Amino acid sequence: MTAGTTVRHFPMRIGGHDVDTGEVLEIRDPQNDELVATAASGGASAIDAAVDAGRAAFDDGSWSRATREHRASVLRAIADRLGERLDEMVELEIMANGATVRQATGFHVGYCAPHLEYFAGLAERYEFETPMPRATFPVLGQSTLRKEPIGVVGAIAPWNFPLLLSLWKFAPALAVGNSVVLKPDEKTPLSALEFARIAEECGLPPGVFNVVPGPGPDAGARLASHPGVGKIGFTGSTDVGREIMRLASGTVKSVTLELGGKSPALVLDDADLDVAVDGVLYGCMLYSGQVCESMTRLLLPDSLHDEFVERMVARASTIRLGDTRDWETDMGPVVSRKQKDRILELIASGKDEGATAVLGGGEARVEGHENGHWIQPTIFTGVRNDMRIAREEIFGPVLSVIRYGSEAEGIALANDTQYGLASSVWSADNSRALDVAEKIQAGSVWINDAHQINCEVPFGGYKQSGVGRELGPRALDPYVEEKNVHLDLSGTREARPYDVLLSHADD
Burial of 368 (0-12, 13-18, 19+ CB in 10 A): exposed
pLDDT at 4: 46
Which three-class secondary structure state does DSSP give residue 302? coil
Residue type, 83: G
Residues in the chain: 507
What would be the CATH architecture of the domain defined by 263-447? 3-Layer(aba) Sandwich (3.40)
Q: Which residues touch 91 (CB under 8 Å, ≥6 apart)? A: none
Which helix (DSSP H) or strand (DSSP E) does residue 60 occupy? helix 44-60
Is-contact 13 50, C-beta < 8 A?
no
pLDDT at 86: 97
Strand-pair partners of 480: 149
Sign, CA dihedral 234-236-237-243, equals negative
pLDDT at 455: 97
Integer Cα distance of 389 and 357 in angstroms: 12
E strands of 163-219, at which residues? 179-183, 209-211
In this structure, what DSSP letter does residue 132 have? P
CA distances from 334 to 55, 105, 331, 399 (A): 38, 18, 9, 15
Integer Cα distance of 430 and 424 in angstroms: 13
Sign, CA dihedral 389-390-393-397, equals positive
Per-residue pLDDT of the chain (507 residues; tens, 9 = 90+): 444 468 999 999 999 999 999 899 999 999 999 999 999 999 999 999 999 999 999 999 999 999 999 999 999 999 999 999 999 999 999 999 999 999 999 999 999 999 999 999 999 999 999 999 999 989 999 999 999 999 999 999 999 999 999 999 999 999 999 999 999 999 999 999 999 999 999 999 999 999 999 999 999 999 999 999 999 999 999 999 999 999 999 999 999 999 999 999 999 999 999 999 999 999 999 999 999 999 999 999 999 999 999 999 999 999 999 999 999 999 999 999 999 999 999 999 999 999 999 999 999 999 999 999 999 999 999 999 999 999 999 999 999 999 999 999 999 999 999 999 999 999 999 999 999 999 999 999 999 999 999 999 999 999 999 999 999 999 999 999 999 999 999 988 888 888 888 887 555
CATH 3.40.309.10 residue ranges for the chain? 263-447
CA distances from 240 to 51, 243, 449, 494, 496 (A): 22, 5, 30, 57, 52
pLDDT at 2: 45
Angle between helices 86-97 and 190-201 (to 10 degrees): 160
pLDDT at 119: 98
Integer Cα distance of 251 and 504 in angstroms: 43
pLDDT at 507: 53
In our burial notation (b when 16+ CB lie closer than 10 A, e otherwise), range 470-481 reads: bbbeebbbbbbe
Q: What is the dihedral of CA 257, 461, 394, 107, to 10 degrees?
A: -80
DSSP code per residue over 449-463: ------TTS-B--EE
Which of 103, 70, 88 minimizes the C-alpha distance to 197?
88
Q: Which residues are catalytic?
A: 258
- pTM value is 0.95
Integer Cα distance of 372 and 32 in angstroms: 4
CATH 3.40.605.10 residue ranges for the chain? 12-259+465-484
CATH 3.40.605.10 fits 12-259+465-484, yes or no: yes
Is-contact 262 389, C-beta < 8 A?
no
